[in-house]
């Protein structure tokens, strides 16, 4: 699995992580869950440590945990953080996606 995170996204994640009291084992869980109007949604949470079957990697100074189910949908995905007049937030650029919804919060594969 080749998941990527931009420096802008890593900086935002580090802000959230600094508010948590995490051990050295802590990191960001990135996952894909069933739901949304197109079939799947992205989810991110700060966690204390990886689970036994997680893929663990470091991206721009952030430890990232991905479970085996999610890994198949996250290959070559880029996580970014964008700020614009319309708002700010994390975005996922997924070349494997076969469709998405109008609001941009879910995808199909």
Return the SS3 of 54.
Answer: coil
- Full set of structural domains in the chain with CATH: 4-97 (2.60.300.12)
Question: What are the pLDDT digits (tens) for 89-103?
Answer: 898 998 877 666 555
Question: Using an 8 Å Cβ cutoff, are 102 and 41 in contact?
Answer: no
Predicted TM-score of the model (pTM):
0.84
Question: Using an 8 Å Cβ cutoff, are 39 and 106 in contact?
Answer: yes
Select the more confidently predicted residue: 36 or 47: 47
Candidates 102, 82, 59, 16; CA nearest to 92 is 82
Q: Tell me the Ramachandran region of residue 87: left when phi exceeds 0, alpha when psi lies from -120 to 50, beta otherwise.
A: left
Share of the chain above pLDDT 70, in %: 86
Question: What are the pLDDT digits (tens) for 44-78?
Answer: 999 999 999 999 999 999 999 999 999 999 999 99
């Amino acid at each position: 699995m080749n998941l990527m995170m931009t420096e802008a996204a890593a900086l935002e994640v580090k802000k959230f992580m600094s508010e948590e009291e995490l051990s050295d084992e802590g990191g960001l869980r990135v996952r894909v869950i069933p739901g949304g109007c197109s079939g799947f949604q992205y989810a991110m949470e700060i966690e204390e440590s990886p689970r036994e079957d997680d893929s663990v990697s470091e991206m721009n100074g952030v430890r990232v945990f991905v479970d085996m189910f999610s890994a198949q949908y996250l290959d070559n995905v880029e996580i970014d953080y964008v700020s614009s007049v319309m708002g700010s937030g994390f975005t996922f650029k997924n070349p494997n996606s076969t469709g998405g919804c109008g609001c941009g919060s879910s995808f199909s594969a």
